[in-house]
């Protein structure tokens, strides 16, 4: 049996259990080794932070957003910490569950310390010395603080709530961002989430920046399948395979463009990774996907930037 099928079966079972997310964390930590903070993951998120800040500067002329909101931060708050180091004052991380912990935050801060000491951090972001001093002091004195207290000193507030109904005022956020999160949100939920983002981001001087990974995430674990493997299945078949622990909506780039259009969100700039169309030709696509141009279906990742000055009401 292929590894991806085994993992899908285990996560499907876990999804029905009490405390399923905690159990899944232990499963991934000790079995699949998928939750360790690797250098590749850390630097990938640092690159995302760099691109978010570049987009914000490009469309506003300002170096750093004073208020930023990220959805789906996950176990390690890399992008929020990067924003803090550059000078952001208020950083919100919204999710329906609190996935980070004091231990994982400390792991994140140590990665930043190592990255700074080896001279690589400045290749990604411009670090304010006083902010970096706060980070090192937190690490030195972390036994004295709770997770909440540490996050407060970093200007980070975790909003454990439905992103369709945020507790933030209208036009209160300078930069809304996400990092390979949208692919885990089903369209009937993501569309109103985008509408809510549109409400809280500033109309003048507001920017959205979203990275989306449209590859089959089981292929990250099982190299015997391609990143297009999940496009073989019908919606009914995929419902039996998918799980609510780490769902995959299988949306393609044209689906995301449509969702943005439905809520009158501009895609001011988009960067798409072409994927591997030749590889896709060897996949027996379900008609749902086969009816679209292969070059569009094959796109594996994209980065959407929205300049909110061009958003329609």
> pLDDT for 50-69, tens place per residue?
999 999 999 999 999 999 99
pLDDT for 34 equals: 59
> pLDDT for 13-40, tens place per residue?
877 777 666 666 656 665 665 568 999 9
Yes or no: say if 78 and 49 are a contact pair by the CB < 8 Å rule.
yes
Residue 192, judged by CB atoms within 10 A of its CB (0-12, 13-18, 19+), counts as middle
Residue 62's nearest CA partner among 312, 307, 300 is: 307
Share of the chain above pLDDT 70, in %: 94
What's the pTM? 0.94
- Residue 85, phi then psi, degrees to nearest 5: -65, -25
Query: Three-state secondary structure along 46-97?
Result: HHHHHHHHHHHHHHHCCCCCCEEEEECCCCCCHHHHHHHHHCCCEEEEEECC
pLDDT for 8 equals: 78
pLDDT band at 4 (very low <50, low <70, confident <90, very high): confident
The CATH number fitting domain 37-214, selected from 3.40.630.10, 3.90.79.10, 3.30.1490.20, 3.40.50.150 = 3.40.50.150
> pLDDT for 223-265, tens place per residue?
999 999 999 999 999 999 999 889 999 999 999 999 999 999 9
pLDDT averaged over every residue in the chain = 93
Q: Which two tokens stand for residue 60?
A: 């506003």
| Sign of the Cα pseudo-torsion (274, 47, 54, 202, in order) | positive
- Looking at 157-243, list the stretches that DSSP marks H as alpha helix, in order from N- to C-terminal side: 187-200, 235-241
| Average pLDDT of span 209-231 | 95
Q: Count other C-beta atoms under 10 Å from residue 137's C-beta.
A: 11
Determine the 3-state secondary structure of 225 from DSSP: coil
Token pair 């209160």 is found at 172
| Average pLDDT of span 195-214 | 97
Q: Count other C-beta atoms under 10 Å from residue 54's C-beta.
A: 12
> pLDDT for 90-100, tens place per residue?
999 999 989 99
pLDDT for 2 equals: 86
- pLDDT surpasses 60 at 111: yes
Yes or no: say if 301 and 215 are a contact pair by the CB < 8 Å rule.
yes
Share of the chain above pLDDT 90, in %: 84
């Amino acid at each position: 049996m292929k590894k991806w099928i085994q993992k899908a079966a285990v996560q499907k079972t876990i999804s029905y259990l009490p405390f399923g997310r905690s159990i899944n964390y232990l499963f991934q930590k000790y079995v699949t080794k998928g939750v360790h903070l690797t250098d590749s993951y850390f630097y990938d998120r640092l690159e995302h932070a760099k691109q978010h800040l570049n987009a914000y500067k490009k469309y506003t002329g300002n170096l750093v957003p004073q208020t930023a909101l990220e959805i789906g931060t996950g176990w390690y708050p890399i992008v929020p910490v990067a924003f803090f180091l550059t000078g952001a004052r208020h950083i919100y991380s919204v999710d329906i569950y609190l996935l980070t912990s004091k231990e994982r935050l400390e792991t994140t801060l140590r990665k930043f310390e190592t990255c700074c000491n080896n001279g690589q951090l400045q290749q990604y972001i411009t670090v304010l010395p006083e902010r970096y001093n706060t980070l090192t002091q937190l690490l030195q004195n972390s036994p004295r603080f709770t997770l909440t207290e540490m996050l407060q000193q970093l200007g980070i507030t975790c909003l454990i709530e439905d992103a369709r109904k945020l507790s933030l005022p209208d036009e209160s956020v300078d930069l809304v961002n996400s990092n390979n999160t949208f692919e885990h949100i089903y369209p009937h939920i993501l569309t109103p989430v985008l509408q809510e983002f549109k409400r809280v981001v500033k109309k003048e001087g507001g920017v959205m920046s979203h990275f989306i990974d449209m590859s089959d995430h089981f292929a990250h674990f099982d190299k015997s399948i391609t990143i297009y493997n999940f496009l073989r299945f019908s919606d009914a078949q995929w419902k039996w395979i998918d799980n609510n622990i780490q769902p995959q909506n299988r949306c393609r780039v044209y689906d995301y463009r449509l969702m943005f259009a439905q809520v009158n969100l501009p895609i001011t700039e988009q960067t798409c990774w072409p994927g591997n169309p030749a590889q896709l030709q060897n996949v027996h696509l379900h008609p749902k996907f086969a009816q679209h141009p292969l070059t569009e279906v094959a796109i594996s990742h994209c980065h959407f930037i929205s300049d909110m000055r061009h958003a329609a009401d």
